[in-house]
Amino acid sequence: MTSFGYTLMTEQCGPKELVRHAVRAEVVGFDFEVCSDHYSPWLVSQGHAPNAWLVLGAVAHATSRVELCSYVTCPTMRYHPAVVAQQAATAQILADGRFLLGLGTGENLNEHVVGQGWPGYERRLDMLCEATKIIRQLLDGGVVNHKGEYFQVDNGRLWDLPAEPVPIGISMTGEKSVQRLADFADFMIDVSPDKPIVDQWIHERRVQGLDTTGRAVAQLPICWDRDRDKAVERAHEQFRWFGGGWPTNAELPNPKAFDAATQFVRPEDVADQIPCGPDIDAVVEAVGAYRDAGFTDIALVQIGGDSQDSFFDEAAPALLAALRADAA
């Protein structure tokens, strides 16, 4: 059974609005909610970047049914892994067992702010592996002393541990990342309908004698609006960065750089990649590509902070019904 989620996109809304949207998403019938973790928006036009973990804590308290997931947190630069472990344990307690920890290698956009530069991809993979080991050890409840290549933990212990373990998912966007990270994750994360990556995730788990029934969680941007032209305009204004692909998006340092890098992207280019307008069938078709690739959980991003209420009021109930009917 495919689960359908809603994205709390911190880049396009302030903290109070995100919490209100989270409640509305639960009421309208979404199964889970994912929350981005940014220090900066992708584009100046998006205009927001509140602290994701404070938002998640408030959302955990304000909701009662939906699963919640950090999507994704980089536990290597802006946060020390020992701090991420504490945040995850606390979020799981507040959410009464509904929290999932999503991790990734991060983006220069968000991580350079602490003044440690921006490592190459191979080093970031190594850092993520070491960080994930530390997080797991702390969440297991032991006292952790660790002196590794990148991180040190001195007599670390989590004093408030949740009754329910925290599942850990990791973003895997290529063959190398799956090879390195498959045995560290309880579930996988990706933002493209990439069937070879999902198949490789299952293969790597099977070869290592690990559970192969873990979830595969994806994310799909849409721009619903009754007026298609307005939808395309809004998607272009706020989401034209999306087409750059992860290798590029991970490297650019600030919103102005993304503005410059996307200055020649046309509205029609964005509309070719993102379902825009009132056509629910177009969204169902786009989601189907992810389901056919093997993803078990698909979170939608409704583009535009000011468009969320109209999306909930006019589109979400019918869209969820259509998605579930198509997946049945």
Known catalytic residues?
Answer: 38, 107
Cis peptide before 72 (omega within 30 of 0): yes
Cα torsion 221, 52, 108, 80 to 10°: value is: -140
51: number of CA atoms within 13 Å, CB side? 7
Residues with Cβ within 8 Å of 160's Cβ and at least 6 positions away in sequence, in order, are 89, 90, 93
| 294 secondary structure, DSSP code | T
Cα-flanking dihedrals φ and ψ of residue 255, to 5°? -60, -35
Residues with Cβ within 8 Å of 117's Cβ and at least 6 positions away in sequence, in order, are none
Q: Which two tokens stand for residue 209?
A: 């004698």
Q: 312-318: long-range contacts at Cβ-Cβ below 8 A with a sequence spacing of 24 or more?
A: 312/21, 312/24, 312/25, 312/28, 314/226, 315/224, 315/278, 315/280, 316/25, 316/28, 316/29, 316/30, 317/28, 317/29, 318/280
Instruction: Provide the sign of the torsion angle of the four alpha carbons 217, 218, 223, 225, taken in this order.
Output: negative
Beta strands in 104-184 (DSSP E): 144-147, 152-156, 168-171
Q: Which two tokens stand for residue 230?
A: 């307005």
Tell me which H or E stretch contains 247: helix 246-249
Residue 253 burial by CB count (10 A; 0-12/13-18/19+): exposed, middle or buried?
Answer: middle
Distance of CA 246 to the CA centre of its chain: 13
